[in-house]
Amino acid sequence: MSTENNHYSFFEGVERNFDKAAKYTRFEQGILEQIKACNSVYRMKFPVRIGDSVEVIEAYRIQHSHHKLPCKGGIRYSMDVNQDEVMALSALMTYKCAIVNVPFGGAKGGIKINPKKYTPYELEKITRRYTAELVKKNFIGAGIDVPAPDYGTGSREMSWIADTYASLKPGDVDAMGCVTGKPISQGGVRGRTEATGLGVFYGLRELCNTAEEMTKLGMSTGVKDKKVIVQGLGNVGYHAAKYFSEAGSKLVGIAEYEGGVYNANGLDLEALVAHRKSTGSILNFPGATNVTNSAEVLEMECDILIPAALENVINADNADRIKAKIIGEAANGPLTPEADVILNAKGVIVVPDMYLNAGGVTVSYFEWLKNLSHVRYGRLEKRFSENQSGTILESVEALTGKKVSDIERKQIMHGPDEVDLVYSGLEDTMIGSFQEIRETMISLNIPDLRTAAFVTAINKIGVSYEELGIFP
């Protein structure tokens, strides 16, 4: 990576993309500046006793936009956490929520630690103290700011946050709505774990099903037989790879921090995961070619490239060597603006992160609604739906004199479970949002999907600010 990219300001990159898109909108400069600005920046330091000594922890919670409340965004645990990164990610959350019609303002949080260096007990102490700091400043609550998991955090940490909040806010009937990504037993929603990866699949599938876009690339419609490379086998990368494999795509390459593997005839994902579990590495997978430098996997032959790990992995240094015709940004900010320019000039379709990885926040929204309604999805309608389907089926069988098989009967009569409704809502969101972005791109003659996604977001947020008015 070049020196330029080492010092690249993530937030400046987001602002540059915003400014590029703003030219296609009708809003006055003051409204545009308000949309761009981070409304509230909370940088904190707090002591935590680790072993026999006191450690001072640096942490952030940044609320980018208050045009809709609550604010929404994950909390990451990483030594790379800094104000610039958290500001950029909170801004992207604002635009992301607007794009997929989730009525939240954007936010993001981070704690500057390496979670691998702490015991679960120590992580719990840090998490609970961080939550207490947020409560003190009114930076968390079902109607204020709703965190979620991110890099280095998961359902365990969210459960600690929820419990701490509920302890400090006794009597708050909506306390569990203060955070999403919780375990099912703590008010979580089924389908949240795979939501981001599944959203990536739905979004890219919709692009591949759009005949006009595939014609531009000289490709057939659909995802079947498309060659796919995924960078990162974490939660998002694994599930994206899984759904593409199940849909008939050919998973030809996987890149991880230890290196990469490639097989032009396709990789068996589950066998690869089992191999990594037993050996500690994806390298030396039977039938695959080892790639020592994982960055080189990004440059190998494929139709769809899905960077699902780190920021700025495709930049001015390597963009010209990318062979993929479609890049799906499953990670946050995997392309620099310089890379965008190079790839757009090559005719590569880049599906931007602010739309494509919105599956997580979409399903988080469903979890939040579940917490506020205090009822599981499907509880009220499942049996009614099954009984109604059974009655219709019996009538059809009586009229035709024919019986359906047991398997068909089971499929026809199946009432929606929570996970069915979550998947359905996510699929509808990703399909509708893609078509909305594409229509914006075509109607305004915008050259790329990222700019069109920004324009779509700016238009919605700008209207919100205009209608709210300026107080006082």
And the tokens for 390?
A: 């059974």
Range among 116-130, 255-269, 280-294, 297-311 with highest mean pLDDT value: 116-130
The pLDDT assigned to 7 comes to 52
pLDDT digits over 95-113, tens only? 999 999 999 999 999 999 9
User: What is the pLDDT averaged over residues 161-189?
Assistant: 95
Q: Residue 4: is its pLDDT beyond 50?
A: no
165 has pLDDT over 50: yes
pLDDT for 291 equals 87
What is the set of active-site residues? 108
Task: State the Rg of the chain over Cα.
Answer: 23
C-alpha distance from residue 222 to each of 333, 348, 357 (Å): 26, 17, 20
pLDDT digits (tens, 9 = 90+) for 180-199: 999 999 999 999 989 999 99
**Furthest-apart CA atoms within the chain: distance in Å:** 79
Mean pLDDT value of segment 5-29? 83
Given this model, what pLDDT does residue 6 score?
46
With pLDDT > 90 as the criterion, what percentage of the chain qualifies? 80
359-382 pLDDT per residue, tens: 999 999 999 999 999 999 888 888
E strand intervals along 175-316: 227-231, 250-256, 259-262, 289-291, 304-307
CA atoms within 13 A on the CB side of 210: 19
Instruction: Check residue 468 and give its pLDDT.
Output: 87
Under 8 Å between Cβ of 347 and 326: no
Average of per-residue pLDDT across 191-219: 95
Q: What is the mean pLDDT of residues 346-355?
A: 94
pLDDT tops 50 at residue 260: yes
The predicted pLDDT at position 2 comes to 39
Average pLDDT, the chain: 93
Q: What is the pLDDT of residue 443?
A: 96
The pTM for the full model equals: 0.91
Place of tokens 């026999």: 52
Q: What is the pLDDT at residue 339?
A: 92
* Per-residue tokens: 343: 């790839």
- Set out the domains of the chain in order of their start, with CATH numbers: 40-185 (3.40.50.10860), 189-381+416-472 (3.40.50.720)
pLDDT of 312 reads 83
C-beta separation of 109 from 74 below 8 A: yes
Q: What does the block give as tokens for 146?
A: 């709703």
pLDDT value at position 470? 79
